[in-house]
Chains A and B, each alone.
Chain A
Amino acid sequence: MWKTVLRRLLTMIPQIILLSIIVFVVAQNMPGDPFTGMIDPNVDPAQIEALREAAGWNDPVPVQYVRWVGNVLQGDFGRSYAQQVPVTTLIGGRAANSLRLGIVSTFFTYLIALPFGMFAGRFNNSWFDKFVMIYNYISYAIPTFVLALLMVFIFGYRLGWFPTFGSKNVTMTAGTAEYYWDMFYRLLLPGFTGGILGTASTTQTLRSEVIDAKTQDYVRTARSKGVPEGKIYAKHIFRNALLPIASSFGFIFSSLLSGSVFIEQIFAFNGMGDLFITSINGRDYSVVITLTLLYGILAIIGSLISDIALSLADPRIRID
């Protein structure tokens, strides 16, 4: 198995090089640059031109690309023009926020989707199944910002159970247990909101897998052994119905870091989704390129994780 993992990681290299070229060229061809709108229009255009020259943006694109690659290989991803900090510092803080939020969201997604899918499948056409179906339609159809605003309004504003914005309380001393508890507490509402939005597809997949597995011959065999109904579901039906969920695990992993623009905006949560949009709007090339590359790498690793997860869950699939 490790050979395959190594081989897959090696084939990532040309993929990433290709990706970086495309991203670089597209980014350079976006109209405008970080100085558009940043600088007072009364400033002498010659001065702006001097800045552009100093930043190297008047060089041919291939020259710029090679220079950029050279820097990246030394661990220098450039500086954000908009915020005047190194890109790595900027992304690092945001990524931690998005990762925490992503993990909590995924946790809620599975917490809701697994029991819903299993029981809707086991008791299909029951009132519970119908309830799950309606829930799915709603959670699938409702726009993120509408749900997020509702959550903030109900649980944050009306009931006052949760803080309505921010990822941390800046008045608390960093590093204390209270501070971390507060950080976790602030994750719950946005995490739950994001979690709900992700449930529909997992629930539906699991439900139809369970219904399909119920009629399989191996389930009949298990029944003919006198295995009690509960155990039939636990050991035979659910175990097989979960296989497609295992294979989607890697994609969830790769989405953990990408964040959700709407949720981050509404909960004032400084995350990657927000950063990505802001950096594109601000033509903050170095940030855009680094983020796109990061997402590309995550997608490739995610599909590898999916394959590994599936091979662990399903003995018929072996990667070697």
Chain B
Amino acid sequence: MATEENLLEINNLEVGFRFGDEYHNAVDDVSITLKKNEILAIVGESGSGKSTLATAIIGLHDPLNTKVKGEILYKGLDLTKLNEKLYNRIRGNDIGMIFQDPLGSLNPVMTVGKQIEESLIYHTDLKENARQEEVLKLLDQVGIVNPQRTAKQYPHELSGGMRQRVVIAIALANKPPIIIADEPTTALDVTIQAQILDLMNDIQDETNSGIILITHDLGVVAETADRVAVMYAGQIVEEAPVDILFTDPKHPYTRSLLNSIPQELEGEEVAELHVIQGTVPSLQALPRTGDRFKNRIPWMPDEVFDEDPQLAEIAPGHKVRGNSWKHFYFEGEEEK
């Protein structure tokens, strides 16, 4: 049951893509909740299923080639059971989505004002004039200096940072309680990234919405998130409040990820960058039983891995999948 403070509750979600006659799960057994007023970060490598999860929440998977199982509960409704018509009332109104590539995400032949206004057309009773006023307010809210002018411009006439602000304005248009941001800063310059993150923090303060922030950038996570879920090969392997995750990571994957952040050492000695061996296995090659991270830490003896690792709470708010973390050490280190 979704409680008062849980905005969104995802239970045992599976998203399978069709390959020929078989479905392979890109998201497997994901259970997570989003609370009011929080920024939940979902981190993982490319191919870990984080964007697939986001797409499933907003219901944009192609139903012919995708199978969604499990529950996504919002206000007592299971979103996975909704038909297109009802889902369209949720999309944009209750869930706003911010995408990665701000140029590709905007229609090149439509003014940005019209694209923001479109969000309002289907979810409000506002008349055209009122909508246009609202568009200017939104542009102002996301930090566009001259809303009047920008509203009449086309996406290619704006800078990358401005485009992303427009994309954010679209997501915010109906003041949705849930905002999903799928790698909102990946396509931007570092200086612009910081501005956009500040903006998202401000928005969260103003609107009290719950934000799901999908990223592979741990720096972004440290700067913005309240809670973090780490995904690997379609599963959540660790979930914790942000300070705990950074100070006391448990799962081998989380520890490897944190270890891969370039460290600046004092003096001239530069630490060798830790690299996680191999890549996330492809969907078809993914082992369906046992620990999915096993083959990327080959120095670990087989017996430390569980047959069927489950996510378990080891401290309040801190969940880790399986027991292999209890024995984990980095290659070259002494066994504990």
Partners in one complex: yes
Q: Is the CB of A228 within 8 A of B88?
A: yes
Q: Point out the residue from A216, A226, A229 that lies within 8 Å of B92, measured CB to CB.
A: A226
A194-226 contact mask (Cβ, 8 Å, vs B): 1 or 0: 000000000000000000000011101111111
CA A136 to CA B92, docked complex, whole Å? 40
| Residue B91, interface by CB 8 Å | yes
CA A316 to CA B154, docked complex, whole Å? 8
- Contacts A225-B91, A226-B89, A227-B118 given; indicate if A220 touches B109 (C-beta within 8 A): no
* Chain A residues within 8 Å of B118, by CB: 222, 225, 227, 235
What's the nearest-Cβ distance from chain A to residue B325, in Å? 36
What's the nearest-Cβ distance from chain B to residue A12, in Å? 30
Q: Is the CB of B109 within 8 A of A216?
A: no
Q: Point out the residue from A222, A224, A229, A313 that lies within 8 Å of B107, measured CB to CB.
A: A222
What's the nearest-Cβ distance from chain B to residue A1, in Å? 17
What's the nearest-Cβ distance from chain B to residue A19, in Å? 36
- For the complex, count residues of B whose C-beta is within 8 A of A: 34
Q: Is the CB of A228 within 8 A of B156?
A: no
| Residue A37, interface by CB 8 Å | no
| Residue B93, interface by CB 8 Å | yes
Q: Is the CB of A218 within 8 A of B105?
A: yes
- Contacts A217-B101, A218-B104, A220-B99 given; indicate if A226 touches B109 (C-beta within 8 A): no
B153-171 contact mask (Cβ, 8 Å, vs A): 1 or 0: 0101000000000010011
Within 8 A of A (CB), among B71-128: 84-85, 87-93, 95-97, 99, 101, 104-110, 115, 118-119, 122-123
* Chain A residues within 8 Å of B58, by CB: 224
Q: Is the CB of A220 within 8 A of B105?
A: yes
What's the nearest-Cβ distance from chain A to residue B103, in Å? 9
* Chain A residues within 8 Å of B194, by CB: none
The dominant DSSP class at the A interface is helix
* Chain B residues within 8 Å of A221, by CB: 97, 99, 105-107, 115, 167, 170
| Residue B60, interface by CB 8 Å | yes
CA A221 to CA B110, docked complex, whole Å? 13
CA A223 to CA B156, docked complex, whole Å? 21
CA A234 to CA B60, docked complex, whole Å? 19
- Contacts A239-B109, A316-B154 given; indicate if A229 touches B84 (C-beta within 8 A): yes
| Residue A31, interface by CB 8 Å | no
Q: Point out the residue from B84, B97, B108 that lies within 8 Å of A316, measured CB to CB.
A: B108
Within 8 A of B (CB), among A261-320: 313-316
Within 8 A of A (CB), among B165-181: 167, 170-171, 173
What's the nearest-Cβ distance from chain B to residue A233, in Å? 13
CB-based nearest A residue for B153: A315
CB-based nearest B residue for A213: B107
Tally of A-B Cβ pairs under 8 angstroms: 81
B123-136 contact mask (Cβ, 8 Å, vs A): 1 or 0: 10000000000000
B201-236 contact mask (Cβ, 8 Å, vs A): 1 or 0: 000000000000000000000000000000000000
| Residue A79, interface by CB 8 Å | no
- Contacts A225-B118, A225-B170, A226-B93 given; indicate if A218 touches B106 (C-beta within 8 A): yes
| Residue A240, interface by CB 8 Å | yes
CA A214 to CA B184, docked complex, whole Å? 22
What's the nearest-Cβ distance from chain A to residue B33, in Å? 22
Chain B CB count within 10 A is highest, among A220, A221, A224, for: A224
Q: Is the CB of B122 within 8 A of A227?
A: yes
Q: Is the CB of B109 within 8 A of A314?
A: yes
- Contacts A217-B101, A315-B154, A315-B156 given; indicate if A225 touches B108 (C-beta within 8 A): no
What's the nearest-Cβ distance from chain A to residue B331, in Å? 40
What's the nearest-Cβ distance from chain B to residue A317, in Å? 10
- Contacts A217-B99, A240-B107 given; indicate if A225 touches B156 (C-beta within 8 A): no
CA A240 to CA B108, docked complex, whole Å? 8
CB-based nearest B residue for A221: B105
CA A223 to CA B90, docked complex, whole Å? 11
Q: Is the CB of B88 within 8 A of A226?
A: yes
CA A222 to CA B171, docked complex, whole Å? 10
A225-261 contact mask (Cβ, 8 Å, vs B): 1 or 0: 1111100000110011001000000000000000000
Q: Is the CB of B60 within 8 A of A220?
A: yes
* Chain A residues within 8 Å of B87, by CB: 226
CA A313 to CA B108, docked complex, whole Å? 11
Ordered by A's residue number, 29 sampled pairs between the chains whose C-beta atoms are within 8 Å are: A217-B101, A217-B105, A218-B106, A218-B108, A220-B99, A220-B105, A221-B99, A221-B107, A221-B115, A221-B167, A222-B107, A223-B60, A223-B91, A224-B60, A224-B97, A226-B90, A226-B119, A226-B123, A227-B118, A227-B122, A228-B88, A235-B118, A236-B110, A239-B107, A239-B109, A243-B109, A313-B109, A315-B109, A316-B108
Residues on A lying within 8 angstroms of B by beta carbon are 216-218, 220-229, 235-236, 239-240, 243, 313-316
Q: A224-B99, A240-B108, A316-B154 are known contacts; what are 11 more A-B pairs with Cβ within 8 Å?
A: A217-B105, A221-B97, A221-B107, A224-B96, A224-B171, A225-B119, A226-B89, A227-B122, A313-B109, A315-B154, A316-B108
